[in-house]
């Protein structure tokens, strides 16, 4: 297991020599100690990335593509080892982390190809002697600050397009799950020195120096709204390019014509994947009043039958939360809802059978409303709060009644509902009858307080490219036809 920083293609203990514990959330035991990088390490990493940028930018797009394909190949070979490590430090069931490795490899393959072929365009010119080109150029050094819930996948969503566009990168992983990212250095080690660098550590000591370094021209961050706002304030004077994905409070509408055989497990999947610790987790469920009694009964039974356990236990359906702070937030949201009149039908507690680990039972709540924290703030835990509605217009209004706008889901067979849903719901990604699926070619990102910018798709590549317009009169030498003087 690699537990060193990765700077200029070399392992490093860190300038201070300090380390910090990485815990297994299923057992609360220390897995390993990771280096606590600081401003000196960030400076070294940014210096290496800056020095590597001119040659990486000048490298042919086809060569860069082959190097990114090699990242995907090596990741595929090391899937099992990385998935197990990520399960130990992050808590997701092993099967989910195997999926994460596969999705990450696919992302590198996708950007290898569109980075090879998407460079700009020719646009119409005003005169026959003129040529107008739109050029796409890399920014330079990109700082990628990645979260703990999908540390490899969300790193890939940033690093793959950044590299494909010709940038170099410094990665700062979450201090909750740094080990899998540090281990990824072995997958990047065929790249030229300095093209990818990894500095683990805490936000104040490592994250802020990366954000503030004027040589870093783009900050790509996934995390909390509070931290995203802090980053924006830090770089306001620099006018630095920011790419921020700041979470959500996603709604799921179950229409009157929904098939409950499909809708109940679908909503549960969307709400409880990775123990509800997904940026696009369903955190608000709106069910037509006619279906509500049967939906609630089925959902309660379904949630009650899910098996809690450590991610390496083969029968586990729902793993632990990442830490005590996060479990305490879930407990506070449930307690607030109960104090305001909500009823817990199943769950709502720490499992009695688990004395260690940050476990919390899948929880179904009814009699909720928008005065409650569980319907307003991001919970990021295994909760399914259910409200009823009478008309589809009301369901749309409820879905939009949130400061967030990352994603939203709908189950229906009515094309009129689908049209109204995609036209009126204020969210960056919409799913109809197929919750929480990804498509590397489809842009992902939020509206309102859920952030700015898009990941994936050509839009995700453009997040890491400057646009330049070239206007060229190739005959040259003469005065333009519009020149007003000297006639």
In order, the DSSP letters of 141-164 are EEEEE--SSSHHHHHHHHHHHHHH
Q: Which two tokens stand for residue 169?
A: 């990168």
Secondary structure of residue 7 in the 3-state scheme: strand
- If you ran DSSP here, which 8-state letter would residue 481 be given? T
If phi > 0 it is left, if psi is from -120 to 50 it is alpha, else beta; for residue 367 that is left
Q: How many CA atoms lie within 13 A of 443 on its CB side?
A: 15
Is 100 designated active site? Answer: no
Contact 116, 65 (CB under 8 A): yes
**Could you give the C-alpha distances from 461 to 58, 276, 299, 385, 466, in angstroms and in order?**
17, 28, 40, 36, 10
> How distant is the alpha carbon of residue 35 from its chain centre?
24
Is 279 designated active site? Answer: yes
Backbone phi, then psi, for 230, in 5-degree steps? Answer: -65, -45
- If you ran DSSP here, which 8-state letter would residue 288 be given? E
Q: Which two tokens stand for residue 455?
A: 């990941």
Of the residues 89, 279, 283, 463, only one is catalytic, namely: 279
**Residue of 115, 104, 99 lying closest to 75 (CA atoms):** 104
Contact 345, 366 (CB under 8 A): yes
Q: How far apart are CA 180 and CA 274, in angstroms?
A: 17
Q: How far apart are CA 400 and CA 254, in angstroms?
A: 15
Of the residues 245, 283, 361, 463, only one is catalytic, namely: 245
b/e string for 115-145 if b means 16 or more Cβ within 10 A? bbebeeeeeeeeeeeeeeeeebebbbbbbbb
Token pair 């300090």: residue:
18
Q: How far apart are CA 263 and CA 276, in angstroms?
A: 17
Q: How far apart are CA 300 and CA 202, in angstroms?
A: 40
Q: How far apart are CA 156 and CA 154, in angstroms?
A: 5
Secondary structure of residue 65 in the 3-state scheme: helix
Active site residues: 245, 279
């Amino acid at each position: 297991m690699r537990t060193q920083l990765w700077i200029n293609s070399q392992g490093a203990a860190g300038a201070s020599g300090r380390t910090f514990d990485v815990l297994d959330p299923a057992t609360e035991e220390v897995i390993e100690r990771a280096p606590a990088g600081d401003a000196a390490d960030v400076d070294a990493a940014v210096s290496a990335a800056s020095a590597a940028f001119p040659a990486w930018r000048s490298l042919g797009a086809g060569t860069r593509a082959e190097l990114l394909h090699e990242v995907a190949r090596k990741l595929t070979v090391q899937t099992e080892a990385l998935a197990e490590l990520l399960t130990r430090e992050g808590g997701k069931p092993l099967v989910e982390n195997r999926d994460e490795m596969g999705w990450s490899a696919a992302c590198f393959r996708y950007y290898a190809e569109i980075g090879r072929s998407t460079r700009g365009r020719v646009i119409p010119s005003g005169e026959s002697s003129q040529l107008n080109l739109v050029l796409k150029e890399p920014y330079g050094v990109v700082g990628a600050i990645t979260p703990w819930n999908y540390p490899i996948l969300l790193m890939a969503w940033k690093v793959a397009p950044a590299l494909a566009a010709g940038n170099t990168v410094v990665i700062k992983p979450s201090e909750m799950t740094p080990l899998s990212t540090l281990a990824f250095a072995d997958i990047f080690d065929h790249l030229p020195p300095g093209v990818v660098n990894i500095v683990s550590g805490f936000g104040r000591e490592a994250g802020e120096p990366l954000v503030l370094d004027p040589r870093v021209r783009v900050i790509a961050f996934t995390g909390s709204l509070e931290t995203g706002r802090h980053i924006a304030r830090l770089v306001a004077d620099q006018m630095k390019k920011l790419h921020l994905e700041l979470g959500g409070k996603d709604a799921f509408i179950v229409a009157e014509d929904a098939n409950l055989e499909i809708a109940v497990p679908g909503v549960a999947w969307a709400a409880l994947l990775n123990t509800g610790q997904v940026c696009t987790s369903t955190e608000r469920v709106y069910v037509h009043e006619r279906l509500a009694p049967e939906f609630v009964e089925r959902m309660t039974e379904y949630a009650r039958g899910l098996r809690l356990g450590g991610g390496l236990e083969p029968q586990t359906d729902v793993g632990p939360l990442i830490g005590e702070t996060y479990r305490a937030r879930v407990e506070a949201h449930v307690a607030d809802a109960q104090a305001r009149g909500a009823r817990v039908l199943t769950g709502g507690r720490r499992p009695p059978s688990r004395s260690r680990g940050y476990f919390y039972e899948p929880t179904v709540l009814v009699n909720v409303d928008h005065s409650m924290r569980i319907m307003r703030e991001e919970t990021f835990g295994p909760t399914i709060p259910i409200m009823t509605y009478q008309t589809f217009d009301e369901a749309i209004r409820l879905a939009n009644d949130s400061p967030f706008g990352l994603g939203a889901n709908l189950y229906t067979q009515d094309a009129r509902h689908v049209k109204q849903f995609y036209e009126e719901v204020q969210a960056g990604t919409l799913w109809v009858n197929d919750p929480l699926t990804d498509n590397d070619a489809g842009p992902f990102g939020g509206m309102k307080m859920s952030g700015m910018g898009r990941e994936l798709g050509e839009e995700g590549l453009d997040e890491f490219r400057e646009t330049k317009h070239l206007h060229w009169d190739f005959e040259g030498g003469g005065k333009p036809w519009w020149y007003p003087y000297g006639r």
